[in-house]
Amino acid sequence: MPAATVTSKGQITIPAEVRRKLGLRAGSRVEFVPMDNGSFVIAPKTASVTALRGMVPAPVVPVSLEDMDDAVAAGAAERARR
């Protein structure tokens, strides 16, 4: 399994094998995507959104559009209260 060491400046060198698999080159940007379990996924910033498919498990119970709308409205109301 590829590994890297964090320098005193907080930098790492991404192993060549990982750079190849992610299609990274000099100047490429990456995002650190937080996961529910506290870990992070490193994703190329230029990747298509379809590359993220499968990262988040499907809900056990399907969610209706009305439920999604209600959740968005509740989140917006919560954010407005801050």
Q: Residue 46 above 80 pLDDT?
A: no
Residue 49: predicted pLDDT: 75
Q: Is residue 33 part of a domain?
A: yes
**Average pLDDT score, the chain:** 89
69 within a domain of the structure (yes/no): yes
pTM strictly above 0.75: no
Report pLDDT digits (tens) over 49-71: 777 788 788 888 888 999 999 99
Write out the residue range of the structural domain in which residue 67 sits. 16-81
* 5 within some domain: no
What domain count does the chain have? 1
Residue 43 placed within a domain = yes
71 in any annotated domain: yes
Q: Is 70 helix (H, G, I), strand (E, B) or coil?
A: helix
**Which residues, at least 6 apart from 25, have a Cβ–Cβ distance to it below 8 Å?**
19
Please report whether residue 30 resides in a domain: yes
